[in-house]
């Protein structure tokens, strides 16, 4: 992902930067804000560099901030999708994985798994859906319910970083 970003941070105002990159991490503009703070010339004009700055902001955050980041993500094939309340990025990502074409049985299983996962871990199941279909997502969902909270917390953050990487790649020329 070493591509040059279409809207280069070195050429953008803070307002334009936040408008473009503030949603890379779901409903967590504070991460883009932190990346803006380390902007120095053209050091963030390459997607990998901006992703690293954003990842560093997450890693430097305390556990409550990380938990808020995880909880900012919607359930997969969840109520927000049904109500049309997903961000454009999440809607596109879920559609790309075929979550908009679940059978009634698959949809019911997603609802059951979402509820069980949140009850066990206290946050939503996160997976970077690009490259997955609903069958592989359901399989991962079932398997990860057997993990402990610490592992799932770290896995959720890893998946969130993957999602951010895919979103930044989409913004490259």
Tell me, yes or no, if 73 is annotated catalytic.
Answer: yes
Among candidate residues 51, 73, 135, 161, the one labeled active-site is: 73
pTM higher than 0.85: yes
* 128-170 confidence digits (pLDDT tens): 999 999 999 999 999 999 999 999 999 999 999 999 999 999 9
Task: Spell out the CATH class of 75-159.
Answer: mainly alpha
Token pair recorded at residue 141? 């969902």
Task: Calculate what percentage of the chain has a pLDDT beyond 90.
Answer: 79
């Amino acid at each position: 992902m070493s591509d040059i970003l279409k809207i280069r941070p070195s050429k953008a105002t803070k307002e334009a930067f936040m408008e473009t990159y503030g949603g890379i991490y779901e409903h967590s503009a504070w991460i883009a804000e932190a990346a803006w703070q380390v902007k120095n010339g053209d050091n963030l004009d390459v997607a990998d560099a901006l992703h690293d700055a954003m990842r560093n902001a997450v890693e430097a955050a305390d556990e409550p901030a990380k938990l808020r980041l995880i909880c900012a993500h919607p359930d997969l094939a969840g109520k927000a999708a049904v109500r049309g309340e997903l961000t454009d990025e999440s809607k596109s990502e879920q559609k790309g994985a075929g979550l908009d074409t679940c059978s009634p049985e698959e949809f019911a299983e997603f609802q059951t798994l979402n509820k069980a996962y949140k009850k066990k871990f206290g946050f939503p199941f996160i997976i970077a859906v690009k490259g997955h279909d609903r069958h592989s997502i359901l399989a991962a969902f079932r398997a990860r319910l057997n993990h402990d909270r610490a592992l799932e917390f770290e896995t959720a953050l890893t998946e969130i970083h993957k999602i951010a990487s895919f979103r930044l790649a989409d913004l490259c020329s």
